[in-house]
Structure 1
């Protein structure tokens, strides 16, 4: 499991570099894609919450993603203080060019399993994701970073 996570982390760095953005921007882009796929309009504040960034940091992310042509901000007609972040249509194609082969391979892998087995895998990954979030919350809430104990 640790090896898979490490490979994924290094992969995210390579993917971000190929897309011309940094890993934090790629993570935020992932949240925007997820929201769009589920039909949800994601506001800048919601993105900050999901990415665990300050609103100021998300402003920087959105500035970079807009400049790179991935997103645009649209004022909320019901609340002029709020903006919704919208993916640019051409951006999806750029992203699929990079992620497409990986998702095709995942599709082939899932084809080796029965639907009930895929359901178990999906359940496991969903639950494991929640455990990761809970553990990270505990680490963040525990305060100061731990330092190695000096050797005597």
Structure 2
């Protein structure tokens, strides 16, 4: 469909479609977590760990707690479960022995890819239907929408804390 005329949609219709996608994504995450022997919070944290490593950094336990909006006590439980399941491990920070980094097990990305791979391949095929210019617009929209969702999350956290 690259370069072909697309169906018209109003912003309200697109917003409703986005809400549906988000809801379906939440349900899918629960299912994927079950398949991997995790709960959705642990799977989310594993995603943060892999994302950080992909960017060339390792998260501290505190960083992970902040990203997941969990207490340090709760993140200890998450890390314990990820270690028991063979997805992650603790690594002492050589510069500060009190600090612990959480790193992915060597097989973690492959194990997650086995479950997520079919969906990623379908999404890749969907992107192939779009031109480079259309993908640039989609990428821009997703980036900006992510920033809006992040700001909304921060507002909710501040309201909860205050």
Using the size of structure 1 for normalisation, the TM-score is 0.90
Q: How much has 1:96 moved relative to structure 2? A: 0.7
1:61 alignment counterpart:
78
1:131 alignment counterpart:
148
2:130 alignment counterpart:
113
Q: How many residues align?
A: 144
2:34 alignment counterpart:
17
- CA displacement 1:48-106 (0-9 Å, x = unmatched): 11111111111110000000000011100000111111111112221111000111111
Choose which of 94, 103, 106 in structure 2 pairs with 1:89: 106
Q: Does 1:43 align with 2:55?
A: no
SS of 1:89 mapped into structure 2: coil
Using the size of structure 2 for normalisation, the TM-score is 0.84
How big is the alpha-carbon RMSD for the aligned residues of Structure 1 and Structure 2?
1.3
Q: Does 1:73 align with 2:100?
A: no
Q: How much has 1:139 moved relative to structure 2? A: 2.6
SS of 2:38 mapped into structure 1: coil
Specify every segment of 5 or more residues in structure 2 that has no aligned partner in the other structure, as ranges.
Answer: 1-17
1:26 alignment counterpart:
43
Q: Which has the higher contact order (CA 8 A, sep 6+)?
A: 2
